A and B are shown apart, each in its own frame.
Chain A
Amino acid sequence: MNLWLTAATVLLAGLLLCGFVLLRGRPLEALVALELGSTVVTIVLLLLAEGFHRSSYFTLPLVLAGLSFVGTLAFMRFLGERWL
């Protein structure tokens, strides 16, 4: 297990903290936790790609960075008026 994989494993602890707020907070706070959680997952995938030395794995964080933006905007748009 090299440095990058160790860092990815440590960073997964941050995902637990985001998950706690996501489950226990109000809807708007859960949306903020979702934003940070998707950022954490993106960095974890970046670290894993570097840790495994596979160039093709770098596509995953690149795609997730764009899709998480679209997904959170969709949550905000469709849940915004009533739930947030």
Chain B
Amino acid sequence: MIAAVLVSLGVAAELVCCMGLIAMPTALDRLHYAAAGTTVGPALVAAAVCVDEGVFTSNGLNALAVALMLAFLGGALASATGRVARRKERGRGS
């Protein structure tokens, strides 16, 4: 039951991020939703896997590793993309 709720929330969060990607007008606005998609949804799905299988199992630890990798690497990627977008907005100076 708890796993079902967590999976539903995770999928809903990802779908909201995808809809935000379409709705927003500029690349920087869209980047907010792309960055949110790397943190909220994977964390909820990994929590659901851990609830279903247990934390200290192969599957649970793999799911946690995926969520952590997505959170950290996605943040770094959003930062790098934002820097490129900002440079493009202000010319090549900054």
Q: Does B85 sit at the interface, judged by CB under 8 A?
A: yes
Please tell me if the beta carbons of A28 and B84 are within 8 angstroms of each other in the complex.
yes
Q: What A residues does B18 contact at CB under 8 A?
A: 13-15, 17-18, 36, 40
Q: In the complex, A40 Cα to B4 Cα: how many Å?
A: 18
Q: In the complex, A62 Cα to B61 Cα: how many Å?
A: 11
Q: In the complex, A66 Cα to B15 Cα: how many Å?
A: 22
Please tell me if the beta carbons of B14 and A11 are within 8 angstroms of each other in the complex.
yes
The total of interchain contacts (Cβ-Cβ below 8 angstroms) comes to 132
Q: Could you say which interface size class chain B belongs to? A: 35 or more
Determine the main DSSP class of A at the interface with B. Answer: helix
Determine the main DSSP class of B at the interface with A. Answer: helix
Q: In the complex, A84 Cα to B83 Cα: how many Å?
A: 12
Q: In the complex, A16 Cα to B65 Cα: how many Å?
A: 26
Q: What A residues does B10 contact at CB under 8 A?
A: 7, 43
Please tell me if the beta carbons of B84 and A73 are within 8 angstroms of each other in the complex.
no
Determine how close the nearest CB of chain A comes to the CB of B12; give it in whole angstroms.
9
Please tell me if the beta carbons of B21 and A62 are within 8 angstroms of each other in the complex.
no
Q: Known: A7-B11, A62-B69. Contact between A49 and B59, CB under 8 A?
A: yes
Q: Known: A11-B14, A43-B14. Contact between A69 and B59, CB under 8 A?
A: no
Interface residues of B in 52-75 (CB under 8 A from A): 52-53, 58-59, 62-63, 65-66, 69-70, 73-74
22 A-B contacts (beta carbon < 8 Å): A3-B4, A10-B11, A10-B15, A14-B14, A15-B18, A17-B18, A18-B21, A20-B22, A33-B30, A35-B38, A40-B37, A43-B14, A43-B45, A46-B42, A50-B59, A55-B62, A62-B65, A65-B66, A65-B69, A69-B73, A69-B76, A72-B81
